[in-house]
Structure 1
Amino acid sequence: MLDPQSPTPLYHQLAERLAAAIRAGEFAPGARIPSEPKLAAQYGIGRPTVRQALDSLVRQGLLSRRRGSGTYVREAPKEIDLFSLDGTAASFRKRGLAMASRLLGPTTRRTITTDERHPLAGREVFSLTRLTRGEELPVLLEELDLDAGLFPGLDRLDLTGQSLSVLAAERFFLRPCGGRQNFSIDYLGGERGRLLEVTPETAILRVERLLHFPQREAGFFSRLYCRTDQFVFSQTLGGFEHA
């Protein structure tokens, strides 16, 4: 049964259950899932709540409705994710490079003031900072802001070792639908320079990444500071890649 005492809405809990069942193969591609009345009886909830859960899975592309027939599991689409939330660190792993990422402190909730030069200004966000190291040196510093309305309860999750792209897709049913990346050269002092172990004279690649989602534009923003004395960073049609 679902947990009515949980801060996670019942429709979201049901959507998570059904999505997990689809991923586990309990409902094969093309299979018809139980009707709204059956799901309502099975989980002890009302049909409007069931309909909300199914609507969210339809929007995420996991299910499709056939008029007069029912709701079916869709075939998994083939896609190229150019704007993965975890694309930068994941690309290291895909290249077989030995990298280790760690969070620098807990996830915090804050309001970005409207006088800040920030695409999420005026909103509540969850903020976290992550440092990726190679075998000998730090390589990448990431400062991440995620819209609190899109990622409810993120600050209560253990994000150690988590892929943010997987977490966004599987727990929050979010997939980017577009975005923008800006590249510039920066020179770091203070805490950022200390974390990356560079001097103020060291040129750093700075990437600002903004992602849009079907549910909300500008739902994720990050600043990435990349050491280029050990790696060459390049944008390709296949994703964000490092050589």
Structure 2
Amino acid sequence: MNLYTREPTSDTLGVLETAALLRALTAGLIAVDDFDEAVAELVRIAGDVPEVAWCGFTTLRAGEPAGVAASDPRLAELDDLRHGRETPAMTAIARREMIIAQDLADDDRWPGWTERARGLGVRGVISAPVDVDEQVIGAINLYAGSAGTFATRHQLTAMLLAEHAGLLLAAVRDRARQAERAGERAGALLGESVVGQAVGVIMTQRGCPAPEALEVLRSAASSLDIPLREVAERLVTSVSRPRES
């Protein structure tokens, strides 16, 4: 027997499972630039936490109605704030701390919510606050189908998920803002007469849409190391110059 070989403990397996979960979450959200799509992917992936029956996410965005998503559509209705703000998620957000209910049958903190939750088969919940940016906060909610399911490792997983999700969702919002600004810049460029004309020429020559034609123009400007407007002027001049007979 090798005295230096030990069987993996449940704690070790929990760490490995959590690491795999965070990797999957990163892979799932790293290329997304739509916030709602990212949240939907988040709850789908987090719903695979061992012994967790469902996962939900509650979002509060400045100036907008609260948003909810869940790995099971029925659970999205559970945290819809039109039913009231007395929920584990809102408590976690308000207190900025993790909230745990091991057995909803013995918990009277959110009477209305608990009644709806138990009707949906929820017996326990962990809600962890998620900080995204100055405009968005939320909570990730892990639901158990049996009382007493949650152990220390589930609390640690919820904490790590919340921290990781906050970073990833902040990056998603940043990418969306960058894409919006790029679109505005492209719109402004297309609005310029000579650039718009040059884009029209490329669209005609290549049979491509305006964004692709603009990208061709930008690539030419970068390769030649001259301003975009000058490249556009050269192109328009070249096609408008009378051909020699």
TM-score under structure 2 length normalisation: 0.26
TM-score under structure 1 length normalisation: 0.26
Structure number with bigger Rg: 2
More helix by share: 2
